[in-house]
């Protein structure tokens, strides 16, 4: 079991397990009192009032902590571990707002970082699936890097990755954000969560997170950096990455597929989410490659 072999300050530790004759297997994890990042970013309090805004200092702390958790999975264990389901609901916060990655139900070992393998059944959450994984079932450490980029965009903007009630062109977070991402620090005003009241002392951190998010959601897996490079960007240990080559690569080839025309015969929520998740992907492959469960 992967979870039992993990030991990192930013990973929720497995305490043990129990087996019930009727209910089956139960895994017991250490209690993390602060709740999920999902609740802090997107949750609602009782009575319908919005939850208190997560301060920028906490958002930045979460970004660094989860990046380090991913780096541990990819490079700090005997075998590279790909989580495959990195998202705010799988990030818990301690009472001191220390982030901890949890839920390793979809995690898998790989032979080495950046060495992909094919998985016939694609599992995960709409909006966080890397294009090469969603279309072809191709799994590597870059699968987690893409999902982490979406989480960074959520931390920056306060938006969810897929929101069907938004205006046309704004439903898919990655697709909406990409024109702004190429501006780097110059896009703070357009991208920053309107609930945040950030002063100038955080502008460099915000700019670096925008830079990191941009390269994480690069369409081409081969041009997506590893998590160690992302950490360097977030901490300001590396020069800005927006060379002409990088700018063109993270924006993809400019081809956007509108899948609504292919799915218009069904109005189900699943089809709607599928269409939005596929927006911005350069190709739409045969159904033989697409298994979502």
Q: Which residues are catalytic?
A: 85
Phi, psi (deg, nearest 5) at residue 184: 60, -130
What is the length of the chain?
A: 293
- Report which of 92, 171, 165, 181 is spatially closest to residue 126, judged by C-alpha positions: 171
């Amino acid at each position: 079991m992967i979870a039992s072999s993990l030991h990192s300050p930013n990973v929720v530790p497995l305490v043990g397990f129990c087996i019930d004759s009727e209910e089956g297997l139960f895994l017991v994890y250490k209690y993390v009192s602060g709740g999920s990042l999902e609740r802090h970013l997107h949750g609602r309090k009782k009575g319908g009032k919005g939850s208190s805004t997560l301060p920028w200092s906490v958002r930045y702390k979460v970004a660094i902590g989860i990046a380090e958790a991913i780096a541990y999975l990819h490079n700090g264990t005997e075998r590279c571990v790909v989580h495959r389901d990195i998202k705010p609901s799988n990030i818990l916060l301690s009472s001191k707002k220390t982030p901890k990655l949890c839920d390793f139900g979809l995690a898998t070992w790989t032979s080495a970082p950046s060495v992909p393998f094919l998985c016939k059944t694609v599992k995960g959450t709409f909006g966080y699936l890397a294009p090469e994984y969603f279309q072809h079932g191709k799994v590597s450490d870059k699968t987690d890097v893409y999902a982490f980029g979406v989480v960074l965009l959520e931390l920056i903007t306060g938006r969810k990755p897929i929101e069907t009630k938004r205006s046309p062109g704004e439903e898919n977070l990655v697709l909406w954000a990409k024109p702004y991402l190429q501006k780097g620090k110059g896009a703070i005003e357009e991208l920053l969560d309107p609930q945040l009241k950030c002063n100038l002392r955080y502008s460099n951190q915000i700019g670096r997170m925008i830079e990191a998010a941009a390269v994480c959601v690069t369409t081409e897996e081969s041009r997506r950096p590893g998590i160690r490079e992302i950490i360097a960007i977030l901490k300001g240990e590396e020069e800005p990455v927006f060379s002409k080559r990088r700018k063109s690569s993270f924006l993809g080839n400019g081809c956007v597929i509108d899948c609504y025309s292919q799915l218009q015969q069904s109005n189900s929520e699943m089809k709607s989410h599928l269409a939005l998740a596929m927006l911005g992907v350069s190709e739409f492959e045969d159904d033989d490659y697409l298994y979502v469960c």
